[in-house]
Structure 1
Amino acid sequence: MQGLMYRLAELDADSAGLVRVIDYFDSLVRHGADTASLLRASAQLADCVAGIEIVEHGRRKKKLRRCDPRGRWSPEPQLPPSMARDIAVDDDVLGTVWIERAGTSLPLDEMLVDRMALTAAIILQPRRLPTVAEHSRNLLFPMDELAVLTSCAGLGIEPHTPVRVVATKAVSDTADSSARLVISQDCTPGKAAGIEADGEYLNLVAGSFAPTPELSEAALSSSVRAGISLAAAASEVHTIVATARFARTQASATTPIVNADDLGALNLLAPGARIDHSRIPDLVLAKEIGSTRQGFELLETLRTYLRSGTLRAAADAMHLHHSSVAHRLSKLSQHVGFHVDTLENRARATAMMLVLDSG
């Protein structure tokens, strides 16, 4: 099949064929191929014998391997190399790659051997293992799904483990702009480490993490404002980093640490965030109670109260006594986990209802 793809690529060697060859070898690098896999894949793509000779580091001994399109190892050459390239890393030649094609070379042979040599150089180059900080950054800001799983493994965190992100930043008028919230190692999952990103310090913490009076006092005394994100599985933590940053922007001198859970549906205002509604406790609980007749009545009472502005105005609109409206709002508050009728939660309750009304 790969040989057929290669022959079809001859029809468009200047564009699609070149892209196909490049992507083919790039995928080998992405999947961590070794030199044997590279040789096998090259022989299949070229539909002819491919070879590689590696000079072992610090020795004069050379290691030579050849492979035919069927994946059979053939140590004795049948034909001389039709095209070859040196494997070079930082001006050091580590070996050679080649193909052995009978007859006239095909249009993509030069590109194929070039990519073989480049891929071999990447494979043979000594690999430095990512640091804990690099794994932490790659988990919070991953390039792809493979980076997420690699970082989870590197940090010793199961992908399904519930975690949160804490974003901290020193207030603008503080003398020490590097001040940050000190998170106990007991609260940190696996080997995760704090990282700096865009002027903030981000920590990965356990999903059960919540601000304590002592932590709030420490944040205030060190002139730090902090935000705690919504909870998510470690493999999806990058989707809720924005909620930690948004929560931090809501912190103040009286409330130096803000938990995104306490913002409810307001988290949907986090810049650049696309948050699944199922991550927001307010919405989950409100939808749950709204599926019952009594719950629907409670939500209608809240909707009227928010539009009316006062208990008495809502009571007049609903032809109820104001104590009945207050009782309904109290009952709804118990279910959704926050006081829906207080002034400080008015924006939160309004956002919750707007999302529910939008479907």
Structure 2
Amino acid sequence: MQGLMYRLAELDADSAGLVRVIDYFDALIRHGADTSAMLRASAALADCVVGIDVVGTSGGHRQHARCDPKGRWLTQAAGQRSATKDVVVDDVVMGSVWIERAGPALALDEMLVDRMALTAAIILVPRHSPSAAEHTRAVLFPMDDIALLSSLTALHIEPTTRLRVAIATADSPPTAHAPTAGRSTPITVDNHVLYLLPGEPSAPWVGSGRMGVSLPMPASAIHRHLGNARFALAQAGESEPVVIADRLGALNLLETGNGLAASDIPDLVRVAELRTTTHGIELISTLRTYLGSGSLRATADRMHLHHSSVAHRLAKISEAVGYPVDSIEHRARATAMMMVLDGSGAGDA
């Protein structure tokens, strides 16, 4: 079949035939063929005996072989070499490839041996296997979607898996090993160390410096949210050296150029669920009044409730959203949550 394709290509050697031969050998390279596979494929395409005589780039190992169109290895020449080409790697001749065709040469023989030589040269150069650090960098700073997906596969991370990015100062990274996602590894970029972390990391990050950890995002989109980790890092200090973006709630929206949606922020998801019930709307209304008045008693007076009832409602909404809404350290977080909720058109809450 391949021999027939090759003979038909002679009808248009200046265009379709040339393209077919080039594509044929490009496919061998893409599929990781070795010299033996390349020789078999070349013999099938040429429909005659082909040969190779090369020395490996590391020296020492010599490969000398002939193959016929049926894939059989020959020890003796089948005829005179009708076309030959040197195999050159970095301007050094490593050997040659050739065609042993009985009868006159065909139109594409020169093209065939040329592509055989080029393919052999590519095969002889040891392939670079990207490291885990290089794949991690490609996930965080992808050149394109194909590179991103390829690196996620190499790191054993599904594109839909939710991950976090952590950023620490390079001069004081965490002393404990961070629970990196998949086979990823920390990388250093612009005096910071970046980590890919599982969406629900279990170990604390203890170190001598500061660290910011982003909200969880799908692995295929995590590179768009490096700014979220940097925003969390900017909020870290001596009293709280590690800041996880979840603790900032809707304040994450203050990040310049953020690409976050309400569904990315746990606080907003939880409070949105509350307003779907009458009881939840009651709790939200109590929190709004509390944030506006500043104390339990003032809230109780405004709502015509006993202050213990107000305290009970605040405890319930704190349980629902996952943090104490009436604590001093979470006042800004709770206020931001309510501002976004009200801005989304929840006038009935």
Which residue of structure 1 lines up, in the alignment, with residue 243 of structure 2?
258
Q: CA deviation at 1:89?
A: 1.9
CA 1:309 to 1:286, structure 2 compared with 1: closer, same or farther past 3 Å? closer
1:197 aligns with 2:198: no
Q: CA deviation at 1:184?
A: 0.9
CA distance in 1, matches of 2:32, 2:279: 54
Which residue of structure 2 lines up, in the alignment, with residue 297 of structure 1?
281
Which residue of structure 2 lines up, in the alignment, with residue 310 of structure 1?
292
CA offsets 1:76-119 (integer angstroms, 9 cap, x no match): 7767666544322222323334567876425x973x65554334
CA distance in 1, matches of 2:337, 2:23: 48
When the two chains are superposed, the root-mean-square deviation of aligned CA atoms in Å is: 5.2
Q: CA deviation at 1:179?
A: 1.9
CA 1:267 to 1:84, structure 2 compared with 1: closer, same or farther past 3 Å? farther
AA at the equivalent of 1:200: H
1:180 aligns with 2:179: no
Q: How does 1:219-258 map to 2 (within 5 A)?
A: 219=209, 225-231=210-216, 238=223, 241-252=226-237, 254-258=239-243
CA offsets 1:98-151 (integer angstroms, 9 cap, x no match): 567876425x973x6555433432322234554554454345445232222224
CA offsets 1:300-358 (integer angstroms, 9 cap, x no match): 748x949x97259xx99xx954778886565333212135575311335544666798x
Identity over aligned pairs, percent: 39
CA distance in 1, matches of 2:285, 2:311: 9
Which residue of structure 2 lines up, in the alignment, with residue 344 of structure 1?
332
User: 3-state SS of the aligned residue for 1:230?
Assistant: coil
User: 3-state SS of the aligned residue for 2:323?
Assistant: coil
Gaps of 5+ in 2: none
Which residue of structure 1 lines up, in the alignment, with residue 165 of structure 2?
165
Equivalent in 182, 201, 204 of residue 208 of structure 1: 201
User: 3-state SS of the aligned residue for 1:105?
Assistant: coil
Which residue of structure 2 lines up, in the alignment, with residue 63 of structure 1?
64
CA distance in 1, matches of 2:49, 2:267: 61
Which residue of structure 2 lines up, in the alignment, with residue 32 of structure 1?
32
CA distance in 2, matches of 1:247, 1:63: 61
CA distance in 2, matches of 1:47, 1:91: 27
Aligned residues: 323
User: 3-state SS of the aligned residue for 2:317?
Assistant: helix
1:147 aligns with 2:151: yes
What TM-score do the two structures reach when normalised by structure 2?
0.64
CA offsets 1:50-79 (integer angstroms, 9 cap, x no match): 8451424444853224364xx744647767
Gaps of 5+ in 1: 170-177, 220-224
Determine if contact 1:180/1:201 at 8 Å carries over to the other structure. Answer: no
CA distance in 1, matches of 2:344, 2:10: 52
CA 1:325 to 1:195, structure 2 compared with 1: closer, same or farther past 3 Å? same
Bigger-Rg structure (1/2): 2
AA at the equivalent of 1:87: V
